[in-house]
Chain A
Amino acid sequence: MEPILALAIGIMAASGIYLILRPRTFQVIIGLSLLAYAVNLFIFAMGRLRLGAPPVIAPTLGSDPALYTDPLPQALVLTAIVIGFATTALFLVVLLASRGLSGTDHVDGRERETD
């Protein structure tokens, strides 16, 4: 599973990076989403991959850390997901306002001579 997840993270990050470098605001917002997925998975993977060991303590098993997956990256990623949502919302509104003010959806606020 590890190579697949690593590849998946790489592909999503690559798509995200490519989109973030594009000139249109919509491309950048989608790129940010993709990059956020990749980064969240990356942080999550820092806790290593465990199957069927959610960090919800089963009273019958006790709280031996070896029985459960690492809860810390999960808590971090949970926070990151929510903040990512807030960032996306803010960026969306800023790009709408910028489009209304500048008349273009180019990220620079004005059209390049080319592109």
Chain B
Amino acid sequence: MALLLILSLPFIGSVCAALLPTNARNAEAWLAGIIALTVALLTAALYPQLATDGVLRYTIPWSPTLGIDFQLRMDGYAWLFAMLVSLIGTLVVVYARYYMSPEDPVPRFFSFFLAFMGSMLGVVLSGNLLQLAMFWELTSLASFMLIAYWHHRSDARSGARMALTVTGMGGLALLAGMLLIGHVVGSYDLDAVLAAGDQIKAHDWYPTIVVLIAVGALTKSAQFPFHFWLPHAMAAPTPVSAYLHSATMVKAGVFLLARLWPVLAGSDLWFWLIGGAGLCTLLIGGYLALFQNDLKGVLAYSTISHLGLITLLLGMNSDLALVAAVFHIINHATFKASLFMAAGIVDHETGTRDINRLSGLYRAMPITATLALVAAAAMAGVPLLNGFLSKEMFFTETVFLGRPEWQRLLLPVAATLAGMLSVAYSLRFVHRVFFGAPAADLPHQPHEPTRWMLLPSALLVTSCLLVGILPADTVGPYLRTATDALLGPAAPAYSLAVWHGLNLPLYMSLTALFGGLMLYLPCIGRRGAHIPVFGVLDGKQTFDWLLGAVTRLAGWLLNRLSSPRLQTQLLVIMLVVVGGSLLPFVADDPLRFGDQPATALDPAFALLWMVGAICAVAAAWQAKLHRLAALILAGGAGLATSLTFVWFSAPDLALTQLAVEVVTAVLILLGLRWLPKRDGSFLEGPEATSVHLRRLRDLLLAIVGGGGIAALTYAILTRPAVDGIAPFFVEQALPQGGGLNVVNVILVDFRGFDTFGEITVLAIVALTVFALLRRFRPAPESVALPVQQIEQASEASVPDPEAGLPTGYLMLPAVLVRLLLPIALLISLFFLLRGHNAPGGGFVGGLVFATAIILQYLVSGAQWVESRLRILPQYWIAFGLLAAASAGIGAGLAGDPFLAAQAWHASLPLIGDIHLSTVLLFDIGVYMLVVGATVLMLIAIAHQSLRALPRKSDADGAA
């Protein structure tokens, strides 16, 4: 339970932080600080339990059949990381409170900061590989938001995008690797995976798995050749860099490598891949760090270099190297976080991070200088500091005797060289900034920052010293539990001591210290940005080129495979549909017509469809030039459809079709006004030929498609019906659904959830229509009043909105339609109430009522109706949805599934027996929603003619 709290607290805090006001810097910092500290304390409190039990677990079953549970698992190694994440997080929060300026929107900062912390804890504490991959991606996303925090700066945006692209790509590779591991092991459970090391190593897919996991981890940890994103991520605010690039984000990669080390390490492939990447990164990072002129640039490349050291250690396939790697992870986190803080302080107090401009700050800010000096010494590996210890362990591993001859030669040389580079850039960092003549032309007069800004850095430096001087008494036991958790009973013996006697590693250290000094001396006076030899190794150009190439390739493919033209897309869709309808006839066992006896032919039905078919074909013929005629003709085809439903025992369908037909016709009529006038002129010459050819092609396609569908229909109609689930609905409609109309019972009861979704869609469509029309801009030539309206206006006065009855030439119909309104309301309610037992229902009822309302518009004019309309369609939609949902929830309260029908019988005096059911409530919801949605759409379109007019008079006035 404590595990769940540790993981969820940062996320809860993230939501709270986002809700605080923009300028609440103190409240935000308190919130984030308390949460980070609580997480740290909770984690610390788990240590005694962990020391006795070994592993703590917390499982929430999620999908047991797939073998995927939400699992939290803490062992000594995870504990160590959780402590690092939460403790350094706490310190960074304190630091950030004073670093961020009052103009920065801090809620965003702290919200993403806490979300990032939660994601990182999720990576560390996951007991399931897929869950780990998910939190892994979350860290990428959260870090993207943090790096791009100052999103008005283009370098922040592009740096964030690069970081997300590289680490996100790695995350995908990681996920693939995790899936493969899960496939090989048969479980995603971390315990099961850790126990299946031999099985994985023996499997054919082992190389693939290692490569995929390596790509994931190396991208995250900014290892060669993916190292280039990290320096560009320095556009983030310094507290973010201090957190992401010391204890968290980049450490996730090495965390995972060490986590899966017992499972994956031990092969030559692992050595070459991980060790090779680590060695390259160690040297390249160190070399490039020496030439950076930005303080954070130095730290970025030194981070890359030190991560390379850790990766190299992990790639060495030796237990002691793993111990050294874990130890260096801790040490690097402490000194690097404090160095980033120092760089941030310098930037904050002087206004620049340019090494060439800074100088002699020791006098102005002695405390900062001392802290930076000690931290940089730890980074350089000076004795009595923590960096020295892990570096000694690293040197010891490189001279390990069990390796081939050339490795025994190469590794110590490379390690010493890396040590020299590390000394040189640390020296350069400190010497150039804090010593020498005081800088003259700084943007701000430098002075010591507030104590609270120094405190986090001071605490970190103190821990560097403590660990460096008394390693066995401070970090010793915790390191032991961590490495025991990784290696199990096979964990090697090692001693954490400052003095191991005069041995080869010590000589290497001394060589590195001295050599670093020598390396730095020629650089003292050197300025300028040119980086000899390896300057080209900044991967940004390659990355940008690759990104551009991929984008161009995607565009090229899109042009080949798709078209921006809707007409072409529709043609492709129709080709597929037509092809699909022909497929059953060309299959190996072609579809044949059955021999089911046909129903007796009724001449009236034949006549009906003769008319219907003529209507359909004529509508297709006329739709281009005679829109109104086409609309009426299509309506004729719809009417024939509706009559067919009646004919073949589907009264509900017929009613609904009829009502929808009317509403659709009105809707399209209202829209017709805004379409451009079509002239009947004909093209000539080659253009006309191509048009004719296209029409011919479409006609052929239509005939083939229609023929195919007709044949399919006939083939099915002449076969006996299959026994599906229909009998169940018919048999259970009355006993279980309590209704006689089976279709209605299916809609509101058996498949009520579908209907609920459907009315939600309807509501969304109505609101979308409303929203789209709010910004509607009619084409200029449609704005003017139609000829008919102008003629009417000249004959009669403009309709008076105040008149009791509408005036104008439609006065008589207007009076009649007004009288019709209450009658229509009654009819619609009648349909609604009888729906459960007889044809009708909420849909039909709602449509009838909506039609009656829109009729008022048609005959009385928009102005007259709108001055009287008391109907607020948005409320009808809302209450309809609420009613339908409460009918569903009511069932839940009674302990039944969502939307299961609940009925009450009661006997009232005078009225007699009544029968109430949640089904009715549901249908009332449908009714209200249909009324609201339909009316909203119709009046939104009808209203446009009113909105267009004032704009026209404005235009006249302006002219």
Residues of A within 8 A of B319 (CB): none
State whether B637 touches A96 (Cβ < 8 A).
Answer: no
- One digit per residue, 1 when the CB lies within 8 angstroms of any chain A CB and 0 when it does not, for chain B 609-651 equals 1001100110110011001001100100110110011011111
**Residue of A whose beta carbon sits closest to that of B941:** A93
Q: Chain B interface residue count: which class? A: 35 or more
Contact of B706 (CB < 8 Å), options: A5, A17, A41, A78: A17
- Give a binary string over B918-959; 1 marks a CB under 8 Å from any A CB, 0 the rest: 000000000000100100010011000000000000000000
Given A4-B609, A44-B653, A57-B740: A94 and B772 within 8 A (CB)? yes
Q: Which of A12-48 contact B (CB under 8 A)?
A: 12-31, 33-34, 37-38, 40-42, 44-48
From B746, B837, B839, residue with most partner A Cβ within 10 Å: B746
Is B235 an interface residue when CB atoms closer than 8 A count as contact? no
Within 8 A of B (CB), among A60-105: 63-65, 68-72, 74-75, 77-79, 81-90, 92-97, 99-101, 103-105
Q: A75 CA to B291 CA in the complex, in Å?
A: 74
Q: Which residues of B contact A48 (CB under 8 A)?
A: 717, 721
Q: A15-B619, A20-B570, A34-B619 are in contact. Are A46 and B716 (CB under 8 A)?
A: yes
The answer to whether the Cβ of B896 comes within 8 Å of any Cβ in the partner chain is no
Q: Which residues of B contact A22 (CB under 8 A)?
A: 623-624, 698
- Choose from A51, A63, A89 the contact partner of B730 (Cβ within 8 Å): A63
A97 contacts across to B, CB distance below 8 A:
772-773, 775-777
**Contact of B843 with A82 in the complex, beta carbons under 8 Å:** yes
* Pick from B567, B619, B638, B690: contact of A108, CB under 8 Å: B567
Cross-chain contact of B691 among A5, A65, A114 (Cβ < 8 A): A114
Contact A105 B675, beta carbon cutoff 8 Å: yes
When the two chains form their complex, are residues B657 and A6 in contact, meaning their CB atoms are under 8 A apart? no
B710 lies within 8 A of A7 (CB): yes
Task: Give the residue name and chain of the B residue nearest to A37 (CB).
Answer: B641
**Interface secondary structure of A, over-half rule:** helix
Whether B724 sits at the interface, judged by CB under 8 Å, is yes
| A-binding segment of B320-328, B364-372, B760-768 | B760-768
- Complex interface residues of chain B between 806 and 864 (CB less than 8 A to chain A): 837-839, 843
Q: Given A7-B609, A71-B729 in contact, is the A17-B653 Cβ separation under 8 Å?
A: no
Which chain B residues border A94 with CB–CB below 8 Å?
772
Q: Which of B202-210, B279-287, B394-402, B660-668 contacts A (4 or more CB under 8 A)?
A: B660-668
Contacts of B638 in A (CB 8 A): 33, 37
When A1-B600, A59-B740, A72-B726 are in contact, do A93 and B649 touch as well, CB less than 8 Å?
Answer: no
Q: How far is the CB of A3 from chain B (nearest CB, A)?
A: 6
**A-binding segment of B109-117, B447-455, B548-556, B747-755:** B747-755
B711 at the A interface (CB under 8 A)? yes
> How many whole Å from B850's CB to the nearest CB in chain A?
11
B446 interface contact, C-beta 8 A: no
A12, A19, A68: residue with the most chain B Cβ atoms closer than 10 Å: A12
Q: With A and B bound together, what is the CA distance between A83 and B664 in angstroms?
A: 12
* B758 contacts A by Cβ under 8 Å: yes
A105 surroundings in chain B (CB, below 8 A): 675-676
Query: For B727, what are the chain A residues with a Cβ–Cβ distance below 8 Å?
Result: 65
Query: A21-B570, A42-B709 are known contacts. Are A30 and B623 too (CB-CB below 8 A)?
Result: yes
A7→B606 CA distance, assembly (Å): 10
| B602, B676, B699, B775 pick with most chain A CB within 10 angstroms | B676
Residue of B nearest to A28 (CB): B570
In the complex, A101→B574 CA distance in Å?
Answer: 27
Q: B944 — nearest CB in chain A belongs to which residue? A: A96
CB atoms of A78 and B653 under 8 A apart: yes
Kindly list chain A residues whose C-beta atoms are within 8 Å of the C-beta of B775. 97
For B640, the closest partner residue in chain A by CB is: A8
- Cα(A64)–Cα(B727), bound, Å: 8
Find the B residue at minimum CB distance from A48: B721
Contacting pair A29 B668 (CB below 8 A): yes
What is the bound-complex CA distance between A19 and B734, given in angstroms? Answer: 44
**In the complex, are the beta carbons of B674 and A12 less than 8 A apart?**
no
Chain A CB within 10 Å — which of B623, B675, B716 has the most? B623
Q: List 13 A-B contacts (CB under 8 A).
A: A25-B675, A26-B675, A33-B638, A41-B644, A52-B649, A57-B740, A57-B742, A74-B653, A86-B761, A89-B664, A104-B676, A107-B566, A115-B687
Closest 10 CB pairs of A and B: A10-B710, A14-B706, A65-B727, A18-B702, A6-B714, A15-B620, A71-B742, A55-B742, A114-B687, A6-B713
